[in-house]
Structure 1
Amino acid sequence: MGRSGPDAVWAFSGGYRRWALEHPGRNAAAVPAPVADDEEDRGVSEEALEVLLDVLAGFGLPDARVVDAARALRSALHGFVTPEGADGSGIPRDVPRSFRHPDRWLPGRP
């Protein structure tokens, strides 16, 4: 909150990663779309989506592209933290350093 553009994406991404690693079961449960008749599930999902859309709002994308960007960012983050949380990275390189690597395509943070 209180950030925009690349800074907002980096803050969101770091927060997502911390949360997912601290709560792997909740992270896995957050993958499916909310259950249609579960008001609490829909509410939590909508709140999380609003945060993600707010993060991306600073880029001035058309609505359809915001959806594309939200899906891509969510998928990239989930795809990164899932193996990390399961000790699935056997490559001898610092995992947090790899997480910061997108600086080449997403400026703003080293």
Structure 2
Amino acid sequence: MARAGLTAERVTEAAADLADAIGFENVTVSAVARSFGVRDASLYSHVKNLQDLRERVTLLAAGEVADRIAAAVAGRSGKEAMTAFANAYRAYALAHPGRYAAYQTPLDPAVAARSAAYVRNVELTYAMLRAYDLDEPHLTDAGRLLRSTFHGYVTLELNGGFSHSREVRASWDSALDGLHFLLQHWPGRPSD
């Protein structure tokens, strides 16, 4: 019988909070059970196993990222939208390092395809990039460039990888200016 008050959503949220506190790679069913003051077996009515729990955290994080980006880019286009998108992405990663690590965890392609949050993240990226008059395959290439740039930057930032005296935010802003310029002058882009 399920312990009163426990739900799959509460267990997932607790695991996500724990990921932010101790790192996604350290989240276990036992650690989450301890956070509720219950035995591991009490959670198995709500999650199948550790893989299911971590997958749920990954999907939760994907939804949170999509919500933040959607709110940030609403009513914006071009550089303003790209900057808002990037800043929302970075802010989420810095505020929720464990959830962010979960969001970067590869999912089974079938699971990702069924996830409204994952689909929404792709749609938000493509919608923002269309203001740069890009079509396929350039949309995919530009999306990959942005994701790898944003991810690389925040991963280095989270790991203390920027030790130069220049303020990290100033370098971030310069990088966004450079990305905007590149998107405006994308190689092979349709002519005006």
1:15-71 CA-partner distances (Å, limit 9, x unpaired): 111011111122222224432353697322111111111111111112210000000
- The one-letter amino acid paired with 2:151 is H
Query: Corresponding residue for 1:85?
Result: 158
| Structure 1 residues without counterparts, runs of 5 or longer | none
Give the alignment's TM-score, normalised by structure 1.
0.84
4+ residue stretches of structure 1 with deviation over 3 A? Answer: 36-41
| Structure of greater Rg | 2
1:5 positional shift: 1.0
- The one-letter amino acid paired with 1:34 is L
Q: Structure 1 residues 23 and 3 mapped into 2: Cα distance closer, same or farther (>3 Å)?
A: same
Matched, 1:16 2:89: yes
CA contact (8 A) 1:35 1:41 kept: no
**Superposition map of 1:15-94 within 5 A:** 15-38=88-111, 42-94=115-167
Identical-pair percentage: 34
| Structure 2 residues without counterparts, runs of 5 or longer | 1-73, 182-192
User: Which residue of the other structure, out of 166, 174, 188, is the alignment partner of 1:101?
Assistant: 174
Separation in structure 1 between the aligned mates of residue 110 and residue 180 of structure 2, nearest angstrom: 38
Query: Corresponding residue for 2:78?
Result: 5
Separation in structure 2 between the aligned mates of residue 21 and residue 97 of structure 1, nearest angstrom: 16
- The one-letter amino acid paired with 1:27 is Y
